[in-house]
Structure 1
Amino acid sequence: MASREDVKRSEAAVSTIVNLAEEAKLASEGVKAPSHALLSISKSLVAGGIAGGVSRTAVAPLERLKILLQVQNPHSIKYNGTIQGLKYIWRTEGFRGLFKGNGTNCARIVPNSAVKFFSYEEASKGILWFYRQQSGNEEAELTPVLRLGAGACAGIIAMSATYPMDMVRGRLTVQTDKSPRQYRGIFHALSTVLREEGPRALYKGWLPSVIGVIPYVGLNFAVYESLKDWLIKSKAFGLVDENNELGVTTRLACGAAAGTVGQTVAYPLDVIRRRMQMVGWKDAASVVTGDGKSKVEYTGMVDTFRKTVRHEGFGALYKGLVPNSVKVVPSIAIAFVTYELVKDVLGVEMRISD
């Protein structure tokens, strides 16, 4: 029979082994945690990038027509409406003309979308944590106003990070055989603008873009998330399934509503931004002097706004709104739903709604 000392030694040995095992487990978890977090971040970025690429390619012809309508010279009208404009592009440039600039657009929108969705998730977490600390309610949820703030943060970060790509994308989109400069692609355009016009030229129109992105992206996220949240909690119209989830069609409708609200509010700033980017380009919108010769005189955001309204009327701020509306509604809807579906496929536990 074992002595009491033997029993004590055995218990001490078992205790030591258990403690070592627990320490090893904690160390293992400590090693795995960063890699798990990195994998989760990567999946979120990939989902956001795919969502942006798919949604933008689906509406590429309308995106190009919108820009052409925004910047065309009011004294040399080539594109007069959505249907006529698309037919004109098809007749003069063929099928490829409908997708001109889409490669550059996707090269910009993929990282932009990835950063935007990821930034929204992180901003939402931070804002929610701060809101709970301030209110003292650990069960508090994001309100529409807080979602608007998170979306605005995401939009500013994504826009600023990818703005030079947006600037050269606009020029490549309107480029023709008679354009003053011939860009061969994204990087050639970036290097040419940087060399000939300086670093500041890559950020022409940045201020109205940032101002415009606050209501645009902010409202997109706020309307989409709040509408979904309301439908799920109220179970309105019987749209919630047995898993307390909304179907793809319903989510597309929520995205369409979000896109419509956001783009209507922010559209005039998008027109101003494009005109600032296209300064000096043949056939781009410009101020016409008394002798009938075209001369660009835009010197800043306020100046562009003032002269556009004075010479072309308030309606000029909404040039291209129809094709843009037709484009934005499905584009935003497809982006939101694609993002959530891809994250489901990749096995990411959290979605923006959560």
Structure 2
Amino acid sequence: MELRTEAVVATLEMSEIKSREDDPSESNEYECLPPHASLTTHMTAGAVAGILEHTVMYPVDSVKTRMQSLQPDPKAQYRGVYEALQRIVRTEGVLRPLRGLNITMLGAGPAHALYFACYERVKRSLSDIIQNGGNSHIANGVAGSVATVLHDAVMNPAEVIKQRMQMFNSPYRGLWDCIVTVTRREGVAAFYRSYSTQLTMNIPFQAVHFITYEQTQERLNPERRYRPTSHIVSGAAAGALSAAVTTPLDVCKTLLNTQEHGALRSSGQVGGHLSGMANTFRTVYRLGGAPAFFKGVQARIIYQMPSTAIAWSVYEFFKYFLTRQQHEHLQQQQQQQRGHGHQHREPKQEAGSGPT
């Protein structure tokens, strides 16, 4: 049944492409302009989407980091996201929820450029093999997982710095002070201490994320046209579901990144630093039991839903816009070439038709 449906969709898409070739003015779908968007287009669109994704909802991300603290200061115990933001602004200043935003922006651009470019390339290659060019959930999941490895390699050091600056009573004066202090006290390896945990979290996160996004797109936008509403809804659904199921791993990642001193002392980790996913899982469970693995789940979902919706809608817009610009430029070049060819042919016709 699935194969029959895809065959019908493929037939419809071929008829739409043929009708657009007959009528050049009717070309609205970004995926039907050139056969595939260029690597530069994917990277540019991905970089813009990544920066906006992380900046627009950054204050909520700051709250999430604090709410995942296993041994929070009494002054930093919050009942909800809105109440936390109010208290932070009132007691610590208007700009406090934005602390660490600069390093996030520096990391998000290149990380998401690699992320989306890798995803599109791997998805297309695997879909050609598995589904003969059609949409394959296996290809989507694998492509998202592979893209995550590149993304996290760039983003992990930025995450470490960001989360340390987000914590309540953070001892760092600024971005550079945080980098220098962590490097001097814990070594360069500290910036990748949570990399394995981050991958363990983000690989299933991105697999669920991309499969949910593509599945929702099939329902809301089967023609795969540029439709902002469908991209926003699909992105929000993908972000909420993937955030919820991976919250326990995010709690462990936060503990590894922040090396929360109160929690480490309570768990008996007096000297040295916490490392390793298994050790972190045991520490979280020892301090708070099973509920501790879902600390900050509300803030995480509230952050991821609009963030993922923003990322996909911005990415799809720039992908559409840049690809259309390339298509229009190509059409202009072809028209100019046809015009030059016509001008060159006219003198020959006049010479042949004149008197001998």
TM-score clears 0.5:
yes
* Letter paired with 1:156: V
Gaps of 5+ in 1: 1-35, 133-138, 234-239
- Report if the CA contact (8 A) 2:70-2:284 is conserved: no
How many angstroms apart in 2 are the aligned matches of 1:330 and 1:208?
Answer: 24
How many angstroms apart in 1 are the aligned matches of 2:267 and 2:235?
Answer: 44
Which residue matches 2:29?
Answer: none
Which residue matches 2:323?
Answer: 347
- Report if the CA contact (8 A) 1:90-1:97 is conserved: yes
- 1:348 offset after TM fit, Å? 5.8
Which residue matches 2:116?
Answer: 117
Which residue matches 2:205?
Answer: 216
How many angstroms apart in 2 are the aligned matches of 1:112 and 1:147?
Answer: 19
Work out whether 1:252 is the aligned partner of 2:245. Answer: no
Deviates more, 1:222-231 or 1:72-81: 72-81
- Report if the CA contact (8 A) 1:44-1:348 is conserved: no
Matched residue of 1:335: which SS?
Answer: helix
- 1:269 offset after TM fit, Å? 0.8
- 1:126 offset after TM fit, Å? 2.5
Matched residue of 1:304: which SS?
Answer: helix
CA 92–228 in structure 1, closer or farther in 2 if over 3 Å, else same: same
> How do residues 75-94 of structure 1 correspond to structure 2 at under 5 angstroms?
76=74, 78-80=76-78, 81-94=80-93
Q: Taking every aligned residue pair, what percent have the same amino acid on both sides?
A: 25
CA 194–321 in structure 1, closer or farther in 2 if over 3 Å, else same: same
Deviations 1:237-275 (A, max 9, x none): xxx7xxx63632222111111011111121111110110
Which residue matches 2:30?
Answer: none
CA 96–204 in structure 1, closer or farther in 2 if over 3 Å, else same: same
How many angstroms apart in 1 are the aligned matches of 2:168 and 2:100?
Answer: 9
Matched residue of 2:255: which SS?
Answer: helix
* Letter paired with 2:280: T
Matched residue of 1:95: which SS?
Answer: coil
Please point out which of 327, 332, 335 is paired with 2:311: 335
Work out whether 1:305 is the aligned partner of 2:294. Answer: no
How many angstroms apart in 1 are the aligned matches of 2:225 and 2:323?
Answer: 17
CA 316–295 in structure 1, closer or farther in 2 if over 3 Å, else same: farther
Which residue matches 2:185?
Answer: 196
Deviations 1:15-49 (A, max 9, x none): xxxxxxxxxxxxxxxxxxxxx9xx93233212111
How many angstroms apart in 2 are the aligned matches of 1:82 and 1:161?
Answer: 29
Please point out which of 266, 277, 282 is paired with 1:288: 266
How many angstroms apart in 1 are the aligned matches of 2:267 and 2:199?
Answer: 31
- 1:190 offset after TM fit, Å? 3.0
How many angstroms apart in 2 are the aligned matches of 1:184 and 1:297?
Answer: 22
TM-score, length basis structure 2: 0.74
CA 245–316 in structure 1, closer or farther in 2 if over 3 Å, else same: same
Deviations 1:60-84 (A, max 9, x none): 1100000111125246462312122
How many angstroms apart in 1 are the aligned matches of 2:203 and 2:267?
Answer: 35
TM-score, length basis structure 1: 0.74
> How do residues 20-59 of structure 1 correspond to structure 2 at under 5 angstroms?
40-59=38-57
CA 122–94 in structure 1, closer or farther in 2 if over 3 Å, else same: same
- Report if the CA contact (8 A) 1:51-1:334 is conserved: yes
* Letter paired with 2:157: P
Q: CA RMSD for the aligned pairs?
A: 2.7
* Letter paired with 1:54: L
Work out whether 1:65 is the aligned partner of 2:63. Answer: yes
Deviations 1:303-348 (A, max 9, x none): 1111211221211111111111111101001100100101222236
Gaps of 5+ in 2: 1-33, 327-356
Work out whether 1:229 is the aligned partner of 2:228. Answer: no
- Report if the CA contact (8 A) 1:212-1:270 is conserved: yes
Matched residue of 1:298: which SS?
Answer: coil
- Report if the CA contact (8 A) 1:45-1:114 is conserved: yes
CA 230–297 in structure 1, closer or farther in 2 if over 3 Å, else same: same
- 1:297 offset after TM fit, Å? 7.2
CA 311–72 in structure 1, closer or farther in 2 if over 3 Å, else same: closer
